[in-house]
Amino acid sequence: MKIILIGPPGGGKGTQAKLLVEKFNIPQISTGDMLREHVKNETNLGIAAKGYMDSGQLVPDQLILDMMETRFQKSDCKNGYILDGFPRTIPQAEGLDKSLKKIGHQLTNIIVLEIDDNIIVDRMGGRRVHAPSGRIYHIKYNPPINHNKDDVTNEELSIRDDDKEKTVRDRLKVYHELTSPLINYYSNKNIVSTIDGSLKIDEVNNKIINILNNKWLKLE
Ligand code: AP5
Ligand code: MG
């Protein structure tokens, strides 16, 4: 399974990717999580990326493509992956096509999460994350077992720097301008499925699993 999750910021890509990792045992590759790790470790890439991320803008395509080229070389990519937040622009999609051709991979599914901007703004105010693992919670829709504590480590949860309403609105603008054209870019491949991302977390998850199962049953 070589899956791309496309959706607006706060659309549920990370939440769904984590559920798919558990179900299908393939890695989640989140460029956002990778970049946040670089920022935390103050690498050259992290230092270059921080300003863009804090202001809700995209990190330049070439930096992302270089980072992903290295990521695809890891052995856990052999049996598939869930790309969460990449590609984000047409040049990134073209770069991805080239990388996949080089390693002989073909995308199997593009899942698009569709959701209204106003629901997103409401959701993002309640997001809490366990930064070291990338585990995602919501104070109302997916609360942790203990107040503001990660379910696995019991460490304190945090709020992402870019979850302020103004930055969320800027990220939504960037999504509509630069990322949503990808849906059209991939439409001729016949592997695009669109899902209503405003449904409950488990309802969205069931729909994705149905799509993936149908695809694999057909191939068997
Ligand atoms: P990134 O980390 O990828 O952020 P994003 O795409 O803006 O998306 P989010 O992670 O904010 O949302 P999500 O869709 O994962 O939703 P989640 O599951 O958390 O990127 C951050 C920044 O890095 C970018 O702005 C950019 O600067 C840079 N960057 C990253 N990749 C890049 C690239 N390829 N090129 C250039 N720059 C790049 O859910 C959100 C909340 O809602 C959570 O609290 C969750 O619990 C809750 N929730 C989820 N689903 C539901 C549901 N169905 N019902 C109710 N609540 C729900
Ligand atoms: Mg995410």
Residues forming a β-bridge with 149: 156
pLDDT of residue 190: 87
**pLDDT tens digits along 37-74:** 999 999 999 999 999 999 999 999 999 999 999 999 99
Q: Report the predicted TM-score, pTM, of the whole model to 2 decimal places.
A: 0.94
Phi, psi of 149 (to 5 degrees): -125, 140
How many whole angstroms separate alpha carbon 218 and alpha carbon 154? 42
What percent of the chain stands above pLDDT 70? 98
- The Å distance, Cα 10 to ligand 1 centre, comes to 4
pLDDT of residue 189: 85
In 3D, which of 134, 127, 154, 125 has the Cα closest to residue 19? Answer: 134
**pLDDT tens digits along 177-195:** 999 999 999 998 889 999 9
171 lines ligand 1 (CB under 6 A): yes
Mutation probe of ligand 1 site: the residue of 15, 71, 84, 118 with most atoms within 8 A of C-beta:
15
Instruction: Give the pairing of strands 81-84 and 2-6.
Output: parallel
pLDDT of residue 216: 64
Contact 27, 18 (CB under 8 A): no
